[in-house]
Every structure is written in C-alpha cells, then in structure tokens.
Amino acid sequence: MAGIYIHIPFCKQACHYCDFHFSTSLKKKDQLIFAIAKEIELRKDEFKNITVETIYFGGGTPSLLSVNELDFLIDTVYLHYKVSENPEITLEANPDDLTNNKIIELSKSPVNRLSIGIQSFHEKDLKLMNRAHNSSEAKQCLENATKYFDNISLDLMYGIPYATNQEWEQNIDIALSFNVNHISSYVLAVEPKTVLKSLIEKGVIDNVNDEQAEQQYHILTDKLEANNYIHYELSSFGKEGFFSRNNSAYWKGKHYIGIGPSAHSFNGKERGWNVSNNTKYIKAIQNNTLPIEKETLTKTDQYNEYVMTSLRASWGISIEKIRTDFGTTFETYLFKQAQKYIDEHLLYIEDKKLKVTKKGKFLSDGIASDLFLLN
C-alpha cells in the first residue's frame, strides 16, 4: 500500500510562522492545477504494481480549490493508478474556507476526511500568527463540519507567546466539545526567514518559552488521554479507528509520491523533492519533464530515517528489524546510544521494541537525533 500527497501552494495570506512553499497570488492557479494533473499522469509507472491507499491534499491551503477542481485531481489519480476500495482522502482546510455550502459540497465528493487548521480559539493568538480566520469562524466551521463528516482532525498550536496554561486548557476544552475523532497539536516553531523570526529578533514579540511549551504539551497529553484519545504519535491523538492512515504510512516507512511544487517523495531507498517555484514547476511539466531532485539513501540514511520516524510513534523501534535490515553493528550502536536515556527513564524496552516513556515524549526528536549514526 502507498500514498499520494498533492501540494497546493496557495494561501490567502501568509501566517507569520510558516516556512512552507506557497504563493498569495492565485494568478497561475488554473495552470498549476493542470500541471499537477499532468504530473500525476507522468509518474504513474512509479506505482505500477502498488495500490494507493491514501490521497492527501496539503499546502498551502488546499481548501482554496473548488470542489470541482478537487474532484478533477482525484479523478486523475483514479484514472492512472490502482486505488483501494476505501481510500482515505484528506483535505487540509482553513475555517474561513469551510462555509456551510462548501462543507455540504465536500461531503458529496470523494473527500472523506477533513484536517482543519484551527490553531487556537483565542483572537489574540490568531492575530499574533496572522491567521486568515477568527475564533467565531473556527467554532462555526466545526459545528457545521461535524454534521457531515465523522472523520475530522483539527490542529492546535501550543507554546504561543503570551498564551497562558489556563488559555491553553480552554483551547483543548473547546476542541473536545466538538467531539472530533482526531487532534493534531504542534509547538509553535520559530523557523528561519519567517515573519515570526523577524518579529522576535526585533523585540516586537517574545520568543517561545520552551519551559512553558513543555508544560502545555503535558497538559495536552493528560487531557486528551483522559478523554479516550490514543497518543499514537508525538503530535497525533486519535480515537480508536481514526488514526491518520496517511501520516501513519509516513512513520511506517511506506512509499509515497509527492505531487506539486516542493512536494517530497519516498520509495524506501530514494528521497525526491520537486522544485519550490510555481513558474519553474509549470514550465517543466508542460515540457514533459519532472522537476525533481533525488538522493539515494545509504544504509546509514535508511537506519536514521527508521529511527526518527519510529521513535515518534507509539509502536517504537523494532530491535528485530534493526538486526535483520541493518545488522548487529547498528543494533550494538543503538543500544549503546540508548542506554543513558533508558537510565534516565526517557526510553524503555517492551516486546523487543525501543519506545519513548511519557516523560521522554516531548524530547523524542532530540533523543532520536542522538541515536543517529553519522556517515
């Protein structure tokens, strides 16, 4: 089984924290949609004998597309690939795009999962992040969406400057009141070359407080687990039967094709990425050329990739897989690097799997990097 990720590189406005590839100009939207459809066709042989289980529209803001445009791209996938009987088809969406009519239209389309970028229910947080929606739009879209979709994920962001722990708890409580089956939550990351980074450097706003971010992470995990959400990945919480099949495939090392400008692809041994420029992307595709760069992963790269993705997930690192796929040298190195974290009760071994403890989850990315083997 494998997945197709489709990157829609358009947004109404730029969020201050975002470093993804996008444009706020929609002038080339039609050209780009046709180019994406053509790339889907050009790459069909990569999945010649593989069944597509998930189709994921990310961005950018894919909810800027009309339902007809989304249907066109989904139909193109079905035309050129073998798709499973019940694929997960996810649309990332912003609350301001999800009018009641748009939600009803989407419910009649092949899209069967919404990932809604709420981030916060507090106006001051949304203004600090320069989000395109307001608090009332966030609540209204969830009220409408839950009438038509069972499979809804919403995004919340913690560690926002000036957001107290009490306000963070309120965010979680409001999210829980809509009884969605999946919640993803991310710390506000200060990325280079973003407006947020510039505002912090100029002293306009405070930097993210790491200690408070960690406190809010633990508030999140405690509250969601108390409400029957399973913490199955570092940033992901789902009710039974509602884990993201698309994201789970990434963490399990399954193959995926990334379509559109800046989209990444992975086939187990190679990683590829498309050019992060809409004009260059369109021109290349029109000339029947794939604007993609590739790197072949060494055995060490593959080991590091497996460690990084598996340690984030609840199933952990399979010691047997390390031994079988990479050899005893890698297994010995893994145990040597892991021992200090085991001693500090940040890692533990269960059923021949190396896993992160509850105490260690917030630190799991840093722990994983220390388990990497350098070339």
Q: Which CATH number do you get for residue 305?
A: 1.10.10.920
Distance from chain centroid for Cα 123 = 24
pLDDT of residue 216: 98
* Same domain for 315 and 244: no
Tell me the three state secondary structure of residue 271. strand
* Neighbour-count burial of 274, counting CB atoms closer than 10 A to its CB (0-12 exposed, 13-18 middle, 19+ buried): buried
Q: Does residue 330 lie in a domain region?
A: yes
Which of 201-220 are b and which e, b meaning 16 or more Cβ less than 10 Å from the residue's Cβ? eeeeeeebeeebbebbbebb
Distance from chain centroid for Cα 221 = 18
Reference 65, options 6, 20, 10, 131; nearest CA is: 10
* Same domain for 241 and 154: yes
Q: Does residue 294 lie in a domain region?
A: no
CA distance 349 to 347: 7
pLDDT of residue 374: 85
Which parts of the chain have pLDDT scores under 70? 375
Reference 171, options 142, 210, 204, 207; nearest CA is: 142
Q: Does residue 264 lie in a domain region?
A: no
- Mark which of 211, 229, 251 sits at the end of a domain: 251
pLDDT of residue 375: 65
- Mark which of 232, 251, 270 sits at the end of a domain: 251
Q: Does residue 24 lie in a domain region?
A: yes
* Same domain for 58 and 159: yes
CA dihedral defined by 55, 188, 122, 128, rounded to 10 degrees? -110
Bridge partners, 157 (sequence order): 186
Alpha helix (H) residue ranges in 81-122: 100-107
- Locate the DSSP E strands across 94-145: 113-119
* Same domain for 325 and 197: no
Q: What is the largest CA-CA distance in the chain?
A: 58
- Where do we find the tokens 């790459």? 43
Reference 307, options 230, 368, 266; nearest CA is: 368
Q: Does residue 282 lie in a domain region?
A: no
* Same domain for 304 and 246: no
- Mark which of 236, 251, 266 sits at the end of a domain: 251
Q: Does residue 142 lie in a domain region?
A: yes
Query: At residue 347, what is the residue type?
Result: L
Full-model pTM: 0.96
Contacts 24+ apart (CB under 8 A), 360-364: 361/217, 361/221, 361/231, 361/234, 362/214, 362/217, 362/218, 364/234, 364/311, 364/312
- Where do we find the tokens 């990479």? 326
* Same domain for 240 and 92: yes
* Domains in the chain, number: 2
Bridge partners, 315 (sequence order): none
List the domain range (segments joined by +) for residue 36: 2-251
Q: Does residue 293 lie in a domain region?
A: no
* Same domain for 305 and 244: no
